[in-house]
Amino acid sequence: MVGAQQQADREACTIAAIATPPGAGGIGVIRVSGSGARDILRRLFRPQRHDELQSHRLTYGWIVDPVSGLAVDEVMAVFMAAPNSYTREDVAEIQSHSSYLILQQILALVLAAGAQAAEPGEFTKRAFLNGRIDLTRAEAVIDLLQAQTREGLQIALSLLQGSLQQRLTGIRDALLDVRAILEVAIDFPDEEVEIIDPAILGRDIREKVSLPLEELLRAAEHGRLFRDGLAVVIMGRPNVGKSSLLNCLLREERAIVTEIPGTTRDTIEDFLNIKGMPVRIVDTAGIRENAEAVEELGIRRARKMLEEADLVLLVVDGTQVPTPEDLALGRSLGARPGVLVVNKSDLRPALQLQEFREHFPNLPAVAVSAKTGAGLEGLEEAIFAKATGDQGGEPAGHGCVPNVRQRQALQVALDSAGRLAGALADGLPPDLVAIEAQAALDQLGEIVGESTTEDLLDTIFSRFCLGK
């Protein structure tokens, strides 16, 4: 109960944070939410004209330290009366010059005036707790902030508009209908036979629950790469052109390239957009025996990266016949998806591409020149094809792509729906059948945040940045 009381106290207090990232910029924003927001703004903000603060009206003026009477910054301020605000509470936002010193000073005044420092994601958590958005939309806000490609952004926007919530509402309504019928049958055991028609109920469960759930799971699988992206690791012997390949894919001189083997000592990573798929690409130290100490550490790091890789680009030097080290690296990939990159195609090749393929039978092979950029498109195609497998290109489901957490709950709900249909077909008593209906409902309730534990909420909202 102490926990519940603490939580209620926290929800009752007014919170504040700097909502813009640190660093130089045009403006910075301090956000305040809660019943004290209006008073705090009144105490610190001196409008240029002595107007009363009007809700949702941007007003020009100064932030003045109420103790010293000194001006802190020239700002625009807005007050948004509940419930028409991001959190559904009274919200004040102060737009100051974006100097971190000024922002810190204003925040300190806001806190001294009675606000508490907000936790990461607390504004969005309040929007959720106050019923403005469900949990799928709250999570979409994180996706929106973290999206790396237009496709990822489109998925986030679709979820923010409630695409998943709406589909779940349809499925939950169907389950509620089933549960209602079962409850009537529980209350009137003598008429159970007339009340429950297993054939009709079974068909409803299949069409209105199981099939839509399967469709959502397919969309999750299909859109996974576009929402979560792909980790690609570049591996190979020293000097084969791994760092050159990274630079070439990024179209910038990101990593140091020299003709000295063992140039790259540490892992270097960056982001790429391959046909809408966010790709985290990692260049690693060239792998060889008898490396000196620092290089050896880099090699260990490179091997470790392998474990995190969704896909490996194994780079070999096309001017040389594959060495035993190249072949050993090929074998070390095991069943992991990979692409063989035969580099330096601008020089005289030692073998035909087909002959390279024969040395690495499990890998599709692409010839490129990291120096001239030749073959780069083919490599991007190969990465895309390998990553998407037989799924083809587009993120499906009109952007309604559930995330990992939602996917797990959808799968459990689908399993419950299967057991529900089975229990009906087997003619089990309605109270037992109803348990499965409830189990499926609970899972769907967890996705939208109706039956979600405080721990889970904390985990979700802690992924946000401060001020969101």
Which residues are near ligand GTP by CB under 6 A?
236, 238-244, 257-259, 261-264, 285-286, 343-344, 346-347, 369-371
Per CB under 5 A, 416 contacts Mg ion: no
Q: Is the dihedral of CA 4, 91, 80, 159 positive or negative?
A: negative
Closer CB to ligand GTP, 151 or 295, in the complex: 295
| Partner from Mg ion, ligand GTP, none binding residue 262, C-beta < 5-8 Å depending on class | ligand GTP
Residue 251 beta carbon to Mg ion: minimum distance, rounded to whole angstroms = 17
Helices (H), 333-393: 353-359, 376-388
Smallest separation, CB 231 to ligand GTP (Å): 19
Q: Of residues 14, 98, 264, 388, which one binds Mg ion by CB under 5 A?
A: 264
| Minimum distance from residue 308 beta carbon to ligand GTP (Å) | 19
- Binding partner selected for residue 158 from Mg ion, ligand GTP, none, CB under the kind-specific 5 to 8 Å limit: none
Place of tokens 């948004």: 80
Nearer to Mg ion (CB atom), residue 167 or residue 242: 242
**What x-and-dash track marks residues 244-263 binding Mg ion by CB under 5 A?**
-------------------x
Which of 164, 162, 91, 159 has its CA nearest to residue 126? 91
Q: Does 278 sit behind a cis peptide bond, omega within 30 degrees of 0 on the bond before it?
A: no
Q: Are 418 and 434 in contact (CB under 8 A)?
A: no
Please say whether the beta carbons of 73 and 106 come within 8 A.
yes
Q: How far apart are CA 274 and CA 233, in angstroms?
A: 15
Smallest distance, Å, CB 250 to ligand GTP? Answer: 13
Strands in 351-456 per DSSP E: 365-367
CA torsion angle for 313, 316, 322, 327 (degrees, to 10)? -30
Using CB under 5 A as the criterion, what x/- string covers residues 203-242 for binding Mg ion?
---------------------------------------x
Token code pair at residue 115? 């606000």
Residue in 98, 243, 406, 443 binding Mg ion, rule: CB under 5 A: 243
Q: Please, what is the minimum distance in Å from the beta carbon of residue 40 to ligand GTP?
A: 55
Q: How far is the CB of 255 from ligand GTP (least distance, A)?
A: 7
Cβ neighbours of residue 109 closer than 8 Å, sequence gap 6 or more: 44, 63, 65, 66, 72
244 vs 443 by CB, closer to ligand GTP: 244
